[in-house]
Amino acid sequence: MHHRYDAIIVGSGIAGLSLALKLAAAGRRVAILTKKNRADSNTNYAQGGIACVTANTDDFDSHLKDTLEAGDGLCRVDIVREIVREGPARIRELIELGLKFSQDESGAFDLGREGGHSQRRILHVKDMTGKAIEDALLRAVSAEKLVALREHVFVIDLITARKLGFGPAGGNDRILGLYALDALTGKIETWAAPVVALATGGAGQVYFYTSNPDIATGDGIAMAYRAGVAVENMEFIQFHPTTLYSLEQKRFLISEAVRGEGAILRNLAGEAFMPRYHHLADLAPRDIVARAIDAEMKKSGAPHVWLDITHKPEAELRTRFPVIFEACETIGVNPARDRIPVVPAAHYTCGGVVTNLDAETSLPGLYACGEVASTGLHGANRLASNSLLEAVVMAHRGSASILRYLDTLGARPVELPDWIPGDAHDSDEQVVISHNWDELRRTMWDYVGIVRTTKRLERARTRIATLAKEIHEYYWNFRVEPRLLELRNLTQVAELIVECALQRHESRGLHYILDYPGHAAHPTDTQVRRR
């Protein structure tokens, strides 16, 4: 089956939905493809909020300075400045869509504070900000006639002019569309469009323990790389310091906003240890807090540390953090009376597909915004709650760029070939997928975690290369299905993370390597492009 649109957006989080609404408002036909249900996105799991200067006591320069300090010397100052300045206008648009941020008794925004921020500037909807934003955007999209939202459609790969042999070798390449699997029917469909926008989120599932939902398998990063687009700074994987400790793989996030309201990290001896690691103590940037917790756990052999907010009244905690309070109660913890057991877990991909300030990649017609992209905002470590800000600002800027690009093309439809399955048949070896999935994620957790060494990274590279070869053979011999496609993408992302980590001969931000404990004199971005 063939489909044709002006633009195809892959992903249904804040970036993808915002982008679709703006393109439709300009009269363009848009398709949103999401591999699970429409509300399954990293956005939906975001608790803390969205960082933006809205108070009279705050200013853009302060937000800029906090972001640059958290990014540890690798943020692009011009990018940070523009995204911070454009934040208030995008916040107003969200409010116009019906989003109601939490307010204090005076009716002003109830601004929270999180690690690395010098001011209270986090707009939130209690501790379910992402869900509130997702709900508001989905309501608006459902009322938009020019937007078609297809669920359970898994994009396999991008279709480019060079891939189809159009034009001279080495000539200008451009996006023509994509191939996608309808997971409900098992059929592979051809989607034609001069514009594809990747809004697929991050790659937390590449690690055994993560706060991310199951959908975070790095699909957009892997697809862009296979299409020859540069990917950078993948070594900067942010580990959230405080996820609820359990023996299960999935880790429930305990928002940084809890520490913003006064929670204290303690080791199992009851000591408040963060003052030993940073002058901001429990509100230090995430990379520092995660490493501190890791060090305390290794020092004592403890399986977790404590997060203590027992000095707050129960009624206040239930009102401010209803979702977190309920999650703690499921394991028998009442945060008003009991300390919460917490551990770090993989949380955010700071690197990704290289874009400029207009969400453009090096491949004409291919755009990326949100966690999948590397704009230069986050540098070596993302400042808390800057992710939703980046997504909504870059969706706005990307939409303007896409409209300009479409205006230059005119009517040049291209007939795309059907997907050719060849001799592929149904698999009788599903155990290969489950085994390799488990081995890949354990390898990344054991060897490419919070603290690294060159020897561990090289060991990971060898093991991942073997897995990649097996998965490549499996992909070409058997019919594709979602779990295989996710594993293929995760393996590609794992290779990129390790390759970028081996390029960086220094410790900076989220990349801490014992062989190179100090900063390099002249830090640069790491970058990988498929040859």
Catalytic residues: 286
Helix (H) or strand (E) holding 9: strand 7-10
Could you give the strand order of the β-sheet that contains 7-10, starting from the edge strand earlier in sequence? 147-150, 30-33, 7-10, 195-198, 366-368
Give just the sign of the alpha carbon dihedral 401, 235, 526, 216.
negative
Q: What angle do CA 83, 88, 90 make, to 5 degrees?
A: 75
What's the first-to-final CA gap in the chain, in angstroms? Answer: 32
Beta bridge partners of 306: 266, 341
Task: Say how far apart CA 146 and CA 5 lie, in whole Å.
Answer: 10
Task: Give backbone dihedrals phi and psi of 451, rounded to 5 degrees, phi first.
Answer: -120, 130
Task: Say how far apart CA 88 and CA 90 lie, in whole Å.
Answer: 5
Task: Say how far apart CA 428 and CA 141 lie, in whole Å.
Answer: 41
Identify whether the C-beta of residue 49 lies closer than 8 Å to the C-beta of residue 385: yes
171 contacts: CB under 8 Å, gap ≥ 6: 162
In the block, tokens 């063939």 appear at 2
